[in-house]
């Protein structure tokens, strides 16, 4: 049995595709289930670290808060992101509600209108506290989120339909949104990594590439438009000696060979119900070149099964993904508000019990 490791050692050993003392685990959730879990453990509503400790989570996040002026005015009946101008409206559902994207203010924007659209300056972020935050979490694997997110990130301003047309036709206005945003995002990430002074372990990137049944775009289009725009982010991670982890929802394993060639070391979400995303397929096909983070479906037993179903799902996933290392157990995206509290607790208890080498 391997010697007991710190969370940082555990996660970095797994991401190096070696066997740690146990499988590392991570946590992402929507507000409703997050509040119920804090109540379950008797924690204050704002005690996020307390919840992570209670669940045995091996990862922590560090970031750089925005300290500049509001760039986009508020609109009645809408929630307007002050930096990018993204608009959402509140939609009720049976287990609570969510802020859904709406209005799409750049849907019909011209190139001149895109150039004039306010976007934040890298100078207006506060980089002064990130090194201390990393020191605070020095025993954990610290992640910095920097989402190129070309398809979704543009679609929420321009609609998904128009964004896909932009990618196909090289529309100057649509691609200018992408390139303006990525230049800013990359510079913020570079300054954050520099300011962190070696405290960041994972640069967490994102690009949703698939539906449940098929790729969202062709491999040729990915290689023309997406890959070259993600490459500078991966190169940045390599320059600072940190892991580049790509979040890709849906059927996305068709891009994993390219990710490995680019220098990506970890892939995230791994929705097992999507086409060519079953754990056994991923482990056999890509286990020699990539590490994995995810696999526990938020639309499967976690949300709709019993506690015993959740435990069985965790055990089956571990049985496939554990051998040889290279796996961190996590939900496929955020745990949803329709998840019973006892199921979420059972997921983490099972991971700790059955995830030991």
What value does the mean pLDDT of the chain take? 97
Q: Which two tokens stand for residue 329?
A: 């157990």
Token pair 């128009």 is found at 162
User: Mean of the pLDDT values across residues 120-124?
Assistant: 98
pLDDT at position 240 is: 98
Structure confidence by residue, pLDDT tens digits, 137-153? 999 999 999 999 999 99
**pLDDT > 70: what percent of the chain?**
100
Reported as a pLDDT band with limits 50, 70 and 90, residue 1 is low
Positive or negative CA dihedral for 290, 203, 36, 32? negative
Residue 247 lies in a domain: yes
Residue 269 lies in a domain: yes
- Let me know: does 176 contact 184? Beta carbons within 8 Å: no
Residue 95 lies in a domain: no
pLDDT at position 97 is: 87
**For position 156, which CATH number holds?**
3.20.20.210
* C-alpha–C-alpha distance, residues 248 and 246, integer Å: 6
pTM of the complete model beyond 0.85: yes
Residue 283 lies in a domain: yes
Residue 92 lies in a domain: no
Residue 76 lies in a domain: no
DSSP-assigned beta bridge partners for residue 267: 246, 292
User: Mean of the pLDDT values across residues 20-38?
Assistant: 97
User: Mean of the pLDDT values across residues 155-180?
Assistant: 98
Token pair 């849907």 is found at 107
Beta strands at 96-101 and 87-93: parallel, antiparallel or unpaired: antiparallel
* C-alpha–C-alpha distance, residues 25 and 322, integer Å: 12
User: Mean of the pLDDT values across residues 215-224?
Assistant: 98
Residue 97 lies in a domain: no
Q: Number of helices (H) and strands (E), helices first, in the chain?
A: 15, 10
Reported as a pLDDT band with limits 50, 70 and 90, residue 175 is very high
Residue 90 lies in a domain: no
Q: Which of 26, 8, 15, 14 is nearest to 334 (CA)?
A: 26
Domain ranges, residue 297: 7-71+105-354
pLDDT at position 2 is: 74
Domain count, the chain: 1
pLDDT higher than 70, residue 134? yes
Calculate the dihedral angle through the C-alpha atoms of 246, 331, 13, 56, rounding to the nearest 10 degrees.
Answer: 140
pLDDT at position 132 is: 98
User: Mean of the pLDDT values across residues 278-297?
Assistant: 98
Token pair 């004039």 is found at 116
Structure confidence by residue, pLDDT tens digits, 51-98? 999 999 999 999 999 999 999 999 999 999 999 999 999 999 887 888
- Let me know: does 31 contact 337? Beta carbons within 8 Å: yes
SS3 content of the chain, % helix, strand, coil (to 5): 45, 15, 40
- Let me know: does 302 contact 313? Beta carbons within 8 Å: yes
Q: Which of 270, 271, 210, 264 is nearest to 236 (CA)?
A: 264
Backbone angles phi, psi at 59, to 5 degrees: -120, 150
User: Mean of the pLDDT values across residues 285-314?
Assistant: 98
């Amino acid at each position: 049995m391997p010697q007991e490791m710190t969370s940082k050692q555990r996660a970095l050993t797994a991401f190096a595709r070696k066997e740690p003392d146990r499988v590392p685990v991570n946590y992402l959730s929507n507000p409703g289930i997050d509040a119920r879990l804090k109540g379950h453990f008797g924690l204050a509503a704002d005690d996020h670290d307390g919840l992570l400790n209670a669940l045995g989570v091996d990862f922590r996040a560090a970031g750089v808060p925005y300290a500049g002026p509001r760039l986009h005015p508020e609109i009645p009946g809408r929630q307007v992101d002050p930096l990018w101008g993204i608009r959402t409206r509140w939609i009720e559902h049976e287990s609570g509600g969510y802020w859904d994207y709406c209005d799409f203010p750049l849907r019909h924007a011209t190139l001149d209108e895109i150039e004039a659209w306010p976007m934040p300056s890298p100078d207006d972020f506060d980089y002064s506290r990130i090194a201390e935050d990393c020191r605070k979490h020095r025993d954990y694997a610290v992640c910095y989120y920097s989402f190129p997110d070309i398809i979704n990130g543009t679609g929420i301003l321009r609609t998904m339909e128009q964004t896909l047309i932009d990618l196909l036709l090289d529309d100057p206005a649509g691609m200018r949104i992408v390139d303006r945003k990525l230049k800013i995002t990359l510079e913020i990430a570079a300054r954050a990594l520099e300011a962190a002074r070696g405290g960041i372990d994972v640069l967490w990137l994102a690009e949703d590439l698939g539906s449940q049944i098929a790729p969202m775009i062709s491999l040729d289009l990915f290689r023309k438009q997406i890959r070259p725009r993600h490459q500078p982010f991966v190169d940045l991670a390599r320059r600072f000696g940190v892991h580049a982890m790509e979040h890709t929802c849906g059927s996305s394993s068709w891009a994993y060979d390219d990710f490995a060639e680019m220098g990506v070391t970890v892939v995230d979400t791994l929705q097992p119900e999507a086409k060519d995303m079953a754990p056994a397929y991923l482990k056999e096909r890509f286990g020699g070149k990539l590490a994995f983070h995810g696999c526990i479906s938020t639309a499967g037993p976690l949300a709709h099964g019993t506690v015993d179903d959740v435990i069985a799902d965790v055990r089956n996933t571990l049985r496939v993904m554990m051998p040889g290392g290279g796996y961190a157990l996590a939900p496929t995206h955020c745990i949803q508000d329709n998840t019973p509290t006892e199921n979420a607790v059972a997921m983490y208890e099972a991971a700790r019990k059955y995830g030991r080498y």
